[in-house]
Structure 1
Amino acid sequence: MKVRDILRVKGGTLYTVSPDEPLKRAVETMAQFDIGSLAVMEYGELVGMLTFREVIGSIARNGGTVGEVTVRSVMDDHPMTCTPETELDEVRPMMLERHTRYMPVMDNRVLMGVISFYDVAKAVVEMQSFENKMLKAYIRDWPEDDGAAATSATGGDNASAPR
């Protein structure tokens, strides 16, 4: 399964913010839409990611308040990315290695979407569930070996042929 399969199921909604927006406004957007990340876009290009991890870090450094900082001052300005053609078997270890919960999907310099660790886990569970159903159906319809054993015991296929 590829990242493009997740994007197809997930849909095309993409939440973005400008790097010069106040962090407070970005947090309000995240709360309003119940999302954990915003792609940070400047002049039509991805320049960073803002996730609840960066927000919480900023609040902790600022004595428990959002303060007057901008998105640029707290965003991850080098987010790990993948392409729509990246296999999920490649994405999972990448996300685990860097503790990344959100990954922008880029097609050259165009942002195609953002996948979350939840999206990846859900796709893997659905894929495994489908494979399990197919295997169970295959096992349930397993052909009986009685005919094959009788044929080989009597000397092959000619034994059952009309004489």
Structure 2
Amino acid sequence: MTQHVRDIMTSRLVTVEPQTSVTAVAQRMRDEDIGAVLVTEGDDLRGLVSDRDLVVRALAEGGDLEHRTVAAACSGDLITVTPDEDLDHAVELMREHSVRRLPVVEEGHPVGILSLGDLAIERDPGSALGDISASKSNR
């Protein structure tokens, strides 16, 4: 039976506006216990920022992080999928573009995120990644 992105995507979205400070985004990630947030303007997807993006594109640059916005740290050149796309196609896109997360959009609006962890839990729950992804946070 063919699986679709909607079958395993995370639909609980956490979004921020592009002008949000990287400090506020990092605090939001901590509070929500997540590793990525979507950057939106209104209902339109503008980017995705991960915890790694914050370190490499903001923290490593130094300076006043309270005044640096997430627009400078997010990935704006996004590869996206729709909820009805075949899950195998989503996996191919992740491999081809070396990404760990794919925003899921419907008519240009974000409705979810598909992560490598979601795939591991679904397709290889006994693997180290599947086991780690399914476990509770250690914080």
Same-fold call, TM > 0.5? Answer: yes
- 1:96 Cα deviation from its structure 2 partner: 2.2
Which position in structure 2 is the counterpart of 1:6? 8
**Structure 1: distance between partners of 2:107 and 2:43:** 13
- Name stretches of at least 5 consecutive residues in structure 1 with no aligned partner: 127-163
The residue that corresponds to 1:25 in the other structure is 24
Partner of 2:101: 102
Runs of 4 or more consecutive aligned structure 1 residues displaced over 3 Å after TM superposition: none
Could you say which residue in structure 2 is the equivalent of 1:120? 119
Which structure has the larger Rg? 1
User: For structure 2, which runs of at least 5 residues remain unmatched after alignment?
Assistant: 126-139
Q: Match for residue 43 of structure 1?
A: 42
Percent identity reads 29
Q: CA RMSD in A?
A: 1.7
Equivalent position amino acid for 1:2 in 2: H
- SS of match in other structure, 1:122: helix
Normalized per residue, which structure has more helix? 1
TM-score (norm 1): 0.69
The 2-side partners of 1:106 and 1:43 are apart by 14
- TM-score (normalised: structure 2): 0.80
C-alpha distance after superposition, 1:101-151 (max 9, x if no partner): 11110112121111111001212226xxxxxxxxxxxxxxxxxxxxxxxxx
Post-superposition Cα deviations, 1:35-58, rounded to whole Å, max 9, x if no partner, equal 010010102111111111210112
